[in-house]
Structure 1
Amino acid sequence: MDNTNVIVALAALAQVTRLDVFRLLVRHEPEGLPAGELARELATPHNTMSSHLAILSRAGLVSGERHSRSIIYRANLDCLREVMTYLVKDCCGGRAELCAPLIADLACCTPSNRGALA
């Protein structure tokens, strides 16, 4: 991950509908959602949703896989991890206690804590 890739990813998320799409897809991992359902859930016209998904896809944040007549979209959690890691790589300057609150907030995503989110 480099500056350019991070900027592209952040720019893709810097729009309300695209951010909502990405967050909705994260909530539906690992199954993903069909494009039509994303459009319905977010009350967005299908052609507009298609444009948003294309931007997120080019940024590497989502991927689509054809299943019969539908395309199922999934969040690319590896890309999200890379962006987040890039942003906080040097956050504490060697002082781990400064990063502890951030790490604690992200701990909700660990497998042992996933049930607590439901």
Structure 2
Amino acid sequence: MESNLAVQRLSALAQPNRLAVFRCLIRCGPAGLPAGDIARLLDVAPNTLSAQLTLLAQAGLLTRRRDGRSIVYAANQDAMSDLIVYLLEDCCAGRPDICAPIADAVARAACC
């Protein structure tokens, strides 16, 4: 991953409402949610949500598809995985004790 793309993705997540949207969609899995449902769940005004969804999609963190009159958004899990791998490349610099908390978190998430 290029550093510019990593910065774009991190910037897209660096706002409380956008981060909440992304976390909500990660929990929903690949099926995603219509924009209206996201707005209701997170108590966000539709016009505000629209701008946030656009920014996240432009960063490659969301996919969108039309389903009748609705647009369904889903987290792009591959893009997030790529970002996490990019951030953690050589994170321990030869010291495995530094990566122990990360390894523990990954082990806990392995149930997914």
TM-score normalised by length of structure 2:
0.93
Deviation at residue 93 of structure 1 after TM alignment: 1.6
Q: How many residues align?
A: 112
Question: Identity of paired residues, percent?
Answer: 44
| Structure 1 unmatched ranges of 5 or more | none
Alignment RMSD, CA only? 1.1
Name the aligned partner's letter for residue 76 of structure 2.
N
Are 1:79 and 2:79 an aligned pair? yes
Which residue of the partner structure matches residue 88 of structure 1?
88
| Structure 2 unmatched ranges of 5 or more | none
Deviation at residue 94 of structure 1 after TM alignment: 2.9
Name the aligned partner's letter for residue 17 of structure 2.
T
Deviation at residue 79 of structure 1 after TM alignment: 0.6
Name the aligned partner's letter for residue 80 of structure 1.
M
Secondary structure of the equivalent of 1:92? coil
CA offset digits 1:13-63 (Å, max 9, x no partner) = 001110000000001002211000011111111111110000000000011
* Distance in 2 between residues matched to 1:108 and 1:71, nearest whole Å: 33
* Distance in 2 between residues matched to 1:79 and 1:64, nearest whole Å: 14
Matches for 1:43-82 after TM superposition, within 5 Å: 43-82=43-82
* Distance in 2 between residues matched to 1:43 and 1:7, nearest whole Å: 28
Name the aligned partner's letter for residue 58 of structure 2.
R
Name the aligned partner's letter for residue 65 of structure 2.
E
Matches for 1:1-118 after TM superposition, within 5 Å: 1-110=1-110, 113-114=111-112
Deviation at residue 83 of structure 1 after TM alignment: 0.6
Name the aligned partner's letter for residue 23 of structure 1.
R
TM-score normalised by length of structure 1:
0.89
* Distance in 1 between residues matched to 2:46 and 2:32, nearest whole Å: 17
